Amino acid sequence: MEYRHIICTVDGSELSKTGLKHAAYLSKTTGAKLSILHVVEKWYRAADVTTDSPEWQ
């Protein structure tokens, strides 16, 4: 199987750190681009959300 792009979500937990190590290894060995997405709980409480998108109306 050929990997071109790997997305790895992290949240600071030990499990996500292990997943990141595996994703980095896989990316390095296959030459795939690695994107890391930091996931936080209840982000909407940190700041106001402003959008003109009709889906949020």
Quickly list DSSP for 24-48: HHHHHHHT-EEEEEE--TTGGGTS-
Q: What's the confidence (pLDDT) of residue 42?
A: 63
Structure token digits, residue 42: 């209840």
Structure token digits, residue 40: 């936080």
Report the distance separating Cα 54 and Cα 33, nearest Å.
33
pTM of the model: 0.67
Identity of the residue numbered 47: A
Domain boundaries, the chain: 1-36
3-27 tens-digit pLDDT: 999 999 999 899 999 999 999 999 9
* Strand-strand pairing, 5-10 and 33-38: parallel
